Amino acid sequence: MTPKPHTSLAPRADRSARAARTWRSSSAMRLGGIALLLLVLAAAVLAGLTHDQLRDMRQDSERTRAQLMAESLSQRISHAVDIGIPFEALVGVDALFNQRLGAHPDIQSIALLHSSGQVLKSVARDQPGHTTAGTAADAPIVVRGITLGAVRLTLQETGAGAFARSAAALLIPTVLLLATLAFLAARFSESHGPQLRNHAVRLATRAIAGGRYDRSVVVPNRRGFDLRAQQLSHAVRGVHETLVRVRRLIASLRQTEPQAHRREYLDRLLADAEGSNRFAEHGLMQIRVVAAESQTFWASLLMALSAAALPGMLLSQTAPTGAQSPALQAAATCCLWLASAAVAGWLTQQRRWHALSVLFAACAGLGALALALATGVVAPLSERTLWIGTALGCGAIAGAVLVACTAVEQAAHRQGHAHAMPRWPAASLGAWLSAAIWLGPALGAVASTALGPLYGVLALTLPVLCAGFLLLRWNEPRSPWRNRIRDHAAALAAAAAEHPGNTRPHWSAGAGVTLAAGLLAAQGLVVSTAGAQLLGNTVLACALGLGVIAGLLAPHRGRRAGDNRDSTLLAVAATLNGVALMVPATFIGHAPVLAAAGLLTAYLLGRAVTATQRLLHLSPTAWLVGGTVGAALSMALTAGSVATGSMGLAATLALVWSAWRTRRMALTLPARKDHDAA
């Protein structure tokens, strides 16, 4: 006997190749890449033109500023000589020059010159390597009409390098933020448009090929130029109505046909037709194909974007209170934000509120808070009270939004007449984490720097207005957005009760991922707001956000190949985070290593989120509680004066623990396949 070929790997390879082709040929990828390229080119051109136009103005202003500072010093020296102190024996000149060097970081050197050109006193700032001479100005020292000498003050060169660094600190997050939002908008439009209609057509043709004439596939809000799903639905309805007429005709012929063999032949024809195909007894069942997961992704992203941007903007504007460092204040803000989200999420999950009611209330709450901040109603409050209250309020709104969107996403899975396709794994949670880790804080910092406090707050209400408009459009009959939240929680509890098993490995595997999510959320807020003018912090914040989004949207090739690759990446990420902690911050390669470690760690977090939700289906409240613990751990690390990179190392270790427990848990769980409801 020849052994049968092992064909179980072929479908998996076909699925992987099909997913790879879909990912490469996706129009969203092309649109996102084109948008990123255009924005980078536009930013580079604008920066170059601005630098050329302001070059003469900058040189004139620096020359005037150097002259004024030199004259201020010469007046003080002239006053000392005028009261009787010999010019060659002045005391305290070095201390005066050093005081000015400490007060003005852009001063390169100060020198006291004799009228003969001899340098009497000179103080210069230490400059590594060869430095170009900056703008110099001489202020004469005149006493009773006699010129005794001069004060020469030289400012550091602020040419294209310094201008490029200061411009990049603002342009890099702005360009990447806009490009990322454009890419996600293209993905949403594609999944809510062409992919949704193509999926409906595939469901209809698959049902027709299988002889299923008892259901009709319908696409709500279909486009007028694409009638394929409607035509297939009409064809199924025509076949169903034809069978109904044939049944009635045969029933009539049986009463009038005198010959028994003809009656038997008609019965056999009807039995063959009904045996090879399936028809509805009491009318067709409608299968409404809705893109619930892409809808919840976009709604959760927009509302979490504003909810995370408002505290980030306020944090970048307020000074640290007391002896508190900016990093510690940012970590404390993240901890308060996540704790408030956990409490509000638990309260929302216990109520039978409609998801739309919760989301509309969240839109109104965010709009009212932004209006109060913009109009100055809360101005009498202290800065400490203001940022604490804003963090708690925005966190509560964000937690309620996550629970409501997750309930809508899961309700569409469990309704037999609706499909949440095309599938986006962990759509609501992934969008929420992307906004919390990078998109929200980065948007708040950019709006604060570019638009100021008033217009920046008003600009942050635009995502909320867009979300409210989309929710009004999606509020249609039999929509998944009309379900009640507590029913979703009860369905999850019933599903967990059907498969009891050991819960300890499940809890430990989920705890590691949620802990890493909280750590990276705190690190993202720290580097986005605490050092908005530092280019290294800006690059690290962008790396964290892009890594999470890439990990969430990356297709899963297979369990065994994915586990091996993720294990290798985890080892590399842990090594990079350890190297970033050991290398001093003054080293030139510290920032690139830290950015690479953050990018890789965030990418692994995104993949772990989708894998965990596929296996465990953790509730939003569990994610929020674990994230709060992770933010509290990051706050403890910051309070202990540990480097910011320690949060990334702790997140990597938590992901390693979660991967180990998940692998052990997956060996005991049965294989799970996501079949379509159709």
Residues 447-506: tens digit of each pLDDT: 887 787 778 888 888 999 999 999 998 888 878 888 888 876 666 665 555 544 444 556
Give the span between the Cα atoms of 517 and 435, in whole angstroms: 12
- What is the β-pairing status of strands 285-290 and 215-218? parallel
pLDDT on residue 11: 44
pLDDT on residue 362: 94
Cα distances from 445 to residues 67, 149, 528, in angstroms, run: 35, 49, 7
Q: For the chain, which ranges sit under pLDDT 50?
A: 1-17, 19-24, 129-130, 499-503, 532, 561, 672-678
pLDDT on residue 32: 63
- DSSP label at residue 130: -
Give the span between the Cα atoms of 658 and 665, in whole angstroms: 10
Instruction: State residue 111 phi and psi, 5-degree precision.
Output: -135, 145
H/E segment holding residue 508: helix 504-525
pLDDT on residue 217: 84
Q: Which amino acid is at 7?
A: T
Contacts of residue 638, defined as CB under 8 A and 6 or more positions apart, other chains included, come to 325, 327, 328, 331, 526, 644
The 3-class secondary structure across 304-320, one letter per residue, is HHHHHHHHHHHHHHCCC
Give the span between the Cα atoms of 173 and 58, in whole angstroms: 25
Helix (H, G, I), strand (E, B) or coil at 616: coil
**Max CA pair span of the chain:** 143
Angle, CA 664 vertex, CA 662 and CA 668 arms, to 5°: 105
Both tokens assigned to 641: 């004066």
pLDDT on residue 135: 79
H/E segment holding residue 66: helix 55-82
Instruction: State residue 444 phi and psi, 5-degree precision.
Output: -65, -45
pLDDT on residue 1: 39
pLDDT on residue 235: 85
pLDDT on residue 668: 57
pLDDT on residue 532: 47
pLDDT on residue 678: 36
Contacts of residue 626, defined as CB under 8 A and 6 or more positions apart, other chains included, come to 510, 511, 513, 514, 515, 517, 518
Residues 2-42: tens digit of each pLDDT: 444 434 434 444 444 454 444 445 566 676 667 767 777 77
C-beta atoms surrounding 229 within 10 Å = 24
pLDDT on residue 356: 92
Answer yes or no: pTM beyond 0.85.
no
Both tokens assigned to 444: 């708040």
Secondary structure E strands in 146-257: 146-155, 212-213, 215-218
